[in-house]
Amino acid sequence: MKLNTPRVVIAGVASGVGKTTVTVGLIGALKARGMKVAAFKCGPDYLDPTYHAQVAGASHNLDGWMMGRQAVLATFGRVAKDADFAIIEGVMGLFDGASPVSDQGSTAEIAKWLKAPVVVVVDASGMARTIAALAKGFASFDHELRVVGIVANRLGSRGHLELLRASQPVVPVVGGLPKDRDHAFPERHLGLFSANVNNLPQQLFSTWAALVKDWIDVDAIVAAGQDAEPLELDFDPNLSAPSRTRCKIALAFDEAFHFYYEDNLRRLEQAGAELVRFSPLHDRTLPDDVDGLYLGGGYPETVADALAANASMLESIRRFARDGAPVYAECGGLMYLCHAIRTLDGKSHPMLGLIDGEAVMADRIQALGYAEVETVRETILGPAGLRFRGHQFRYSSLSSSNSRQDACAYLVSTRRKSAPFREGYVVGNVLASYVHAHFASNPSLAEGFVASCEAYRLRRTSFWHKDTSSCQQHLKHTERN
């Protein structure tokens, strides 16, 4: 099929130059014109998409290294096909990615796959004619890219913007944004605060939309997007509904756990799962009649005392796991499954105790970057020998006095370690890892997890209906142990 949706990539010179601010403001400005905007984020980022979603309704990750070209195009096509305009926010600098010598995993790679024109955001504070040199470099570095404009962020005044334009860069300065610390998006140790669980004031978003409308030539960006070449997709991006609901999976979602790829959740649903959101922080027990548990990443360390105090939830999850229910946890979810989380103040907060060890917070990053995984034993995701890709971004590490390497299901390879290492902690039907997996890298992961949950559902329901008294005795025995 042919996809004609106008689109533009909002890239940057580096991280921290204001790509998210420009993207959110531009989405808001286009929506004010009555346009339906599809929003995307390049790279393994859980936070920036929550800001897009505040104005666009949803946002989807596009990562060349984890997903591959086919999955990137499928996700883009499925979401963008009914939109009036698509905006793709880049990651880091335009050419930064998984390799220092190629565009693999970079914003540039995504822009070329999507045949999308690129607008580059520059931190222009303290800058004048140098912007012309930057423009020349971005215009000529990769001739397969079409860089159509520069947005100068953190301007001192209108005069500063005119000074930059007067330098006659080969790529036009299509506008900029003034310094405005009062409306800056709040940050913490993993980046921006999550907008979807922290109730940020809507004034933040409306202010940036108004500033974009006032300071940036939105018409020029729209025209560039409309000039993008049609995309030829050799597949249908539409999804058929699952034939039946095979299982229900409890999905932890609150201030502590909310790092999920929309694509992962969609793949679980497509495989036949019904996702039931709940809060380990605020609810007293797991939802009724669920067959599996998905604990994503997030910030459990920031509310560790409250998680530890919710004794009824802790016991509910322990019983669920001890009964053989599939439990899949990533990063923050792994921390919750440990015996305790030790925060920076040295205090140890007791957690579920299903995985041996204590998650210890540090004041600096403990792991950052892409990871490739091979399973070395059968897990709730499927048989041994599965390969998939993901990433790590964490400030904690697992301290364990008697961790067993033979109980680990993963062989993990990263660029930062010279040799693969064992990880992926397994206890019964519990699987926990610091790796955030992207299911697009191996679609069988979603199917495997759903199949494990369905098998538990069949065992649970047949066991219950076969002999209710025996089931009750079994539950009492589980609680005693």
Contacts (Cβ under 8 Å, ≥6 apart) of 226: 6
Distance spanning both ends of the chain, measured CA to CA: 58
For residues 21 and 70, the answer to whether their CB atoms sit within 8 Å is no
Residue 180 has a pLDDT of 75
Pick the CATH number of 2-232 from 1.10.3720.10, 3.30.750.24, 3.90.700.10, 3.40.50.300: 3.40.50.300
CA dihedral 413, 415, 419, 421 (to 10 degrees): -40
Give alpha helix (H) positions in 143-186.
Answer: 158-166
**Residue holding tokens 């300065």?**
173
Residue 476 has a pLDDT of 45
Yes or no: domain 247-480 corresponds to CATH 2.40.110.10: no
In eight-state DSSP terms, residue 96 is -
Query: What are the extents of the domains in the chain?
Result: 2-232, 247-480
Size of the chain, expressed as the number of residues it contains:
481
Q: What is the pTM of this model?
A: 0.88
Q: Quote the CA–CA distance of 216 and 471 in Å, as a whole number.
A: 66
For residues 369 and 434, the answer to whether their CB atoms sit within 8 Å is no
Mean pLDDT by 10 residues, the chain (481 residues): 94 94 95 96 89 91 95 94 96 92 94 98 96 96 96 96 96 93 60 60 81 96 96 71 88 95 95 97 97 97 97 98 97 97 96 95 92 97 97 91 67 88 95 97 97 96 56 44 41
Phi first, then psi: what are they for 254, rounded to 5°? -170, -160
Give alpha helix (H) positions in 4-106.
Answer: 19-32, 48-56, 64-67, 69-80
Q: Quote the CA–CA distance of 295 and 434 in Å, as a whole number.
A: 12
Q: Quote the CA–CA distance of 57 and 301 in Å, as a whole number.
A: 28
Same fold flag, 2-232 and 247-480: yes
Residue 235 has a pLDDT of 65
For residues 370 and 289, the answer to whether their CB atoms sit within 8 Å is no
Residue 234 has a pLDDT of 75
**Residue holding tokens 């439990």?**
327
For residues 13 and 121, the answer to whether their CB atoms sit within 8 Å is yes
Residue 193 has a pLDDT of 61
Q: Quote the CA–CA distance of 325 and 428 in Å, as a whole number.
A: 9
Q: Quote the CA–CA distance of 242 and 315 in Å, as a whole number.
A: 33
Q: Half-sphere exposure of 177 toward its Cβ, with a 13 Å CA cutoff?
A: 29
Residues recognised as catalytic:
331
The backbone region for 278, taken as left when phi is positive above 0, alpha when psi lies in -120 to 50, beta otherwise, is: beta
